[in-house]
Structure 1
Amino acid sequence: MDKTSFQSKPTRVRFQILAFLFINVVINYMDRTNIAVAASSISGELNLNNFQLGLVFSAFGWTYVASQIPGGILIDRFGPRLLYSITLISWSVVTLCQGFIKGFAALFGLRLAIGVFEAPSYPINNRIVTNWFPNNERASAIAFYTSGQFIGLAFLTPLLAIVQQYFGWRGLFVITGAVGVLWGIIWYYLYRDPTEHPQVNQLELDYIAESTAGTKNAIAKPRLTWTSFKQVFMHRKLWGIYIGQFAVTSTLWFFLTWFPTYLIKYRGLNFLKTGFLTSIPFLAAFAGVLLAGFFSDHLIKKGYSFGVARKTPIIAGLLLSMVIVGANYVSSTPLIILFMSVAFFGNGLASITWVFVSALAPPNLIGVTGGVFNFIGGLSSIIVPLFIGLLAGGGNFKPALIFISSLAFIGALSYIFLVGSVKQTNSLVASQS
């Protein structure tokens, strides 16, 4: 492309950046969930009981949650390029080290470390989308990179099962960790913010700046005070999306941790067959999140209100997630997978919740608000694995699925009654209307 044509049309570098985010999310969730693929083999070799396995599953969540708000502050102060590179490489090195553990304590400690280093990842993702995309494209952008956690796992879960079959669970951690280290180095050399990217022309910058939180505001380094920090805890609407996020991630964490074990130990399926069957709900979730994003942006472009366009797929998805309880009342494998797939499709529909962080947070506190949002959502990564381990400890998984279904219902009520009506803004909604 010559210089004239470069200046006559807006460049589309933002979509290249979105593809990089997609890869980040795939690697992020691969390193969160490879433990679920390896769990049966690890528990056998290390003689872990259900409670210990629940602790291992939840260990990530303890530090992930505790590090959310500090991570959000770091993002607002230092930006995504260097911070993402450091965290990505660090959690990948820790993943690799899991291949050399000798007992429960070492495994538990390394899972705690992964939680620390992965904590800033989703607030960084939200910051990057806010920097690079105008409002009318954000739901689709969030849906696309979020789909990486589903489409990646749909195809990676059977692949990881095959890797473990040939290289053992230790080889599984070494290989997945090495992939992340390599990509972290590549990210550092490829990523730039919009105004610093050599391939972006002024027309694309102007298009991005059509958002009410334009490029300049999105990239500004804010001054964080205690008064401004308190804003992210003081408003009903923000608490509505916080509680809703806990509900959305609760269903997700069931699938990321206990689902393969549920199929193997409680439904009697073999390891390799489980690896392929678990991909079906992930594909359903992938379809759900893409449908939610593009449908929501379509409604915005057609003139529907911001609240209707953004909340409809989230509420519908949370209600669909309640269908997971239906697996308690069937015994055939196809029907079990059907109920799980419908529930996870609903979880995908509800997964565009990050769009409300950009919409409701003060422009100078997007990272901090995202940190609080992810902090409360991340509590599910602690509570859900532990509660399921306790509820299913006697060999009966039915109470665990009732628990997940109930949380989804609470999330739907939160968006209906606490979030309420929402206008398309990019500042904290002070009104409680």
Structure 2
Amino acid sequence: MHDDTGLLQKKRVWIYAFLFTLTLINYIDRVSLSVASKVLKEEFNISPVAMGYLFSSFVWLYFIALIPMGYLVGRYGPKKVNGYGIGVWSVATACTALSTGFISLLSCRLIMGAGEATTYPAGARVIREWMPLRERGMATAVFHSGSLVGPAVGAIGFGWLITAFGWRIAFLVAAALGFVWLAAWLKWYSHPSKAPWLSAEEREEISGHGASSQAQSAAIPALGLSGLARSWTMWAIALSHGCAVYATYFFLTWLPSYLQAEKGLTVMSSGIYTAIPYIGAAVLAIVIGRLSDRVVRPEMAESGQRRVVVASVLLASSVIFLVPALENTWAILMVITLSLATCASAVSLNLSLVNDLVRAEDDVGTAAGFITAVGNLFGLLAPIVTGYVVAGTGRFAPAFVMVGVLLVVGAMLSMFCTRRPVGAIQPGAVALG
């Protein structure tokens, strides 16, 4: 155990703030089109089918760009690559305000998706550089929790802006948030070894055992994408990640429809009821991440023991099995909150597990891009498969069961297939997990 009561007095708390607000802004911009969809459909006469393509278009280039962005983070560092990323997606968000129809909206969403692909590879590398190993679980949970708070804040804030000032002003305000973040990032972010505002004592604490441990990690030769893709450990983490992401996309896309169709809630009340699990999950995910750091000591983390926590939260998330058997709406929301929180924890802890097991620092961004790409492939399938299941059976129960089965499979993959480190253990020796 260790005493972390003084974390808020540490200067690296600003890196936590950067990480959280990065994904917060990312997801506010992602949800913006959904919030504005009714107004856009009316103004530009966009059909439901065309709107469906607009909703999915964000993911097209995002998915393709994830692994290349991870490589660029490894080569050029997170400050430069992530700076370009948020700059590009903020420009695309601003340009959305100038849209004149379907084609211009589609173009803006495609560019935005490509820009946002820098977020998770860069965030994983920032955590590797800035956080002592004993803090990585909580740091990754804080980073990922922005993706839970973002949809709730975006839905409420963007909705108010559209109502008060119109949809074009709303997109400009969303873009401005990104530019403000970028200005702060360029001014204050740097590697801990170069940050002038960091004390020598804290710099020593971050590096673990002094500069030698960071130098050792930096000296290990990178495997690159081809080497990472030959690792069974990487594939097990990626597939486990996919199971968790499938569940989170299921919640993101179908939860309001489920509450409206089977629980008789109105659109407004279902929106409020949807926001509750996300806010609760954000808090619980940070708590779980912190607990994982307390339970998994640094030497245990380096040997892959964090996988036990990943498997445990995935298994806990399979409580979603219970939803079809429940009648009380609040009981359902409690179960969904627990499932969503543990799913979110699995996503963030898998990113921590990558940092634990990938030995070469330059491979971290590529590895994070790899598992995020696989996860988003599962995420792309979730709303489509669920749609077919609901259409074919007329009920949501089989869809909930399918999600629960995948979460159990993900838990088994984490527990039994993510044991070995990925990369060189000794100079000249390579372990591909």
Structure 2 length as normaliser, TM-score?
Answer: 0.84
Alignment of 1:135-284 (within 5 A): 135-210=133-208, 214-216=213-215, 228-264=224-260, 267-284=263-280
Inter-partner Cα distance in structure 2 for 1:311 and 1:185: 37
Alignment of 1:28-427 (within 5 A): 28-39=26-37, 42=40, 46-49=45-48, 52-210=50-208, 214-216=213-215, 228-264=224-260, 267-301=263-297, 310-330=306-326, 332-350=328-346, 351-363=348-360, 364-392=362-390, 396-419=395-418, 421=419
Deviations 1:29-85 (A, max 9, x none): 211223343445555664543x55544333222211211111011111111222222
The structural deviation recorded for 1:128 is: 0.7
- Aligned-residue offset at 1:264: 4.9
* CA spacing shift, 1:313–1:108, aligned 2, 3 Å: farther
User: Structure 1: which amino acid aligns with 2:213?
Assistant: G
Deviates more, 1:257-266 or 1:31-40: 257-266
Shift of 1:393: 5.1
Q: Residue 4 of structure 2 aligns with which residue?
A: none
What is the CA distance between 1:282 and its match in structure 2?
0.9
Any gaps of 5 or more consecutive residues in structure 2? 1-8
Q: Distance in 2 between matches of 1:289 and 1:429?
A: 34
Q: May I ask how many residue pairs the two structures share in their alignment?
A: 417
Matches for 1:2-13 after TM superposition, within 5 Å = 12-13=10-11
Equivalents in 2 of 1:333, 1:186: separation in Å?
43
Distance 1:100 1:386 in 2: 31
TM-score by length of 1: 0.84
Residue 429 of structure 1: how far off its partner (Å):
8.0
Q: Report the more deviating stretch, 241-250 or 386-395.
A: 386-395
1:142 Cα deviation after fit: 1.2
Deviation string, structure 1 residues 99-149 (Cα, Å, up to 9, x no partner)? 444544443333222221111111101111111122112112112222222
Which letter does structure 2 place at the counterpart of 1:413?
M
State the identity %.
28
CA distance in 2, matches of 1:265, 1:326: 18
Per-residue Cα deviation, 1:164-209 (whole angstroms, up to 9, x for no partner) = 4434555443322222122222221121111211112332222222
**What displacement does 1:304 show?**
6.1
- Following the alignment from structure 2 to structure 1, what is the Cα–Cα distance between the partners of residues 72 and 240? 25
Structure 1 alignment gaps of length 5 or more = 1-10
Kindly provide the amino acid, as one letter, of the partner of residue 343 in structure 1: S
- The 1-side partners of 2:207 and 2:107 are apart by 44
Structure 2: distance between partners of 1:44 and 1:328: 36
State how far apart, in whole Å, the 1-side matches of 2:168 and 2:323 are: 32
Answer whether contact 1:18 1:141 (CA < 8 A) is retained: yes
Q: Deviations over 1:410-432 (max 9, x none)?
A: 2112112322x357999698275
| 1:240 Cα deviation from its structure 2 partner | 0.9
